[in-house]
Amino acid sequence: MSDAKYHAVNSRWPETLPDLEPGEAISAAKRLYRRAMGRPWKGTWKLTSGRRFTWPRRGVFYVNPKRERSRETGWHDLVHMISHYCHRQKNPGQRPHAAGHESIERDLVLYVREQGWLDGRLRRPEKAKPDVKAVRYERVVAGIARWETKLRRAETALRKLKRQRARYERLAA
């Protein structure tokens, strides 16, 4: 990608980009794909890491929020890779950096900025982790209650069976 050719695209990004969180990356990728293609992805979405690209493989669209050894990471890389895939789907005979790719990527960059995603609009509040000891204690208490119920039912069943045995013993004698 020549910098002169993509100046119109790269100039749309702010000087500093916030970090792309994993949950935010999946949500953004789904919406970017839908925006570029006009329909949702029919497969599943999964997070990946390391040097793997944001790209679909065998019905799974893998999203890498922080690709290692990439010149641009995070938001820039996510938008760039999704625009490449969508351009490839729309124009299968064209080269990856043909004229149509630039317009798709520019549209997606503008969409990201308009939606306020760089300000954290896609971030979900972190769920408070439950106290593990309290959860385990509640599980133990529930288990005791279950077994005590089973014990009462077993004692009742044994009483009935003993009465029946006594009655049959009287009848047999």
Measured CA to CA, the distance from residue 95 to residue 131 in angstroms comes to 54
Mean pLDDT of the chain, nearest integer? 89
Residue 134 shares a structural domain with residue 58:
no
125 in a domain, yes or no?
no
What tokens does 36 get? 């570029």
pLDDT tens digits along 132-162: 999 999 999 999 999 999 999 999 999 999 9
Residue 28 shares a structural domain with residue 111:
yes
Dihedral angle sign, alpha carbons of residues 90, 40, 6, 88? negative
Question: Rounded to two decimals, what is the model's pTM?
Answer: 0.70
124 in a domain, yes or no?
no
What is the helix, strand, coil percentage profile of the chain, to 5? Answer: 55, 5, 40
Residue 98 shares a structural domain with residue 162:
no
111 in a domain, yes or no?
yes
Query: Is the Cβ–Cβ distance between 17 and 76 less than 8 Å?
Result: yes
3 state DSSP class of 44: strand
pLDDT tens digits along 11-60: 788 888 888 888 899 999 999 999 999 999 999 999 999 888 999 999 99
pLDDT category of residue 1 using cuts at 50, 70 and 90: very low
72 in a domain, yes or no?
yes
Residue 104 shares a structural domain with residue 134:
no
1 in a domain, yes or no?
no
Residue 80 shares a structural domain with residue 149:
no
20 in a domain, yes or no?
yes
Dihedral angle sign, alpha carbons of residues 29, 32, 33, 34? positive
Q: Structural domain of residue 48, as residue ranges?
A: 7-119
Residue 48 shares a structural domain with residue 72:
yes
**Which amino acid, 167?**
R
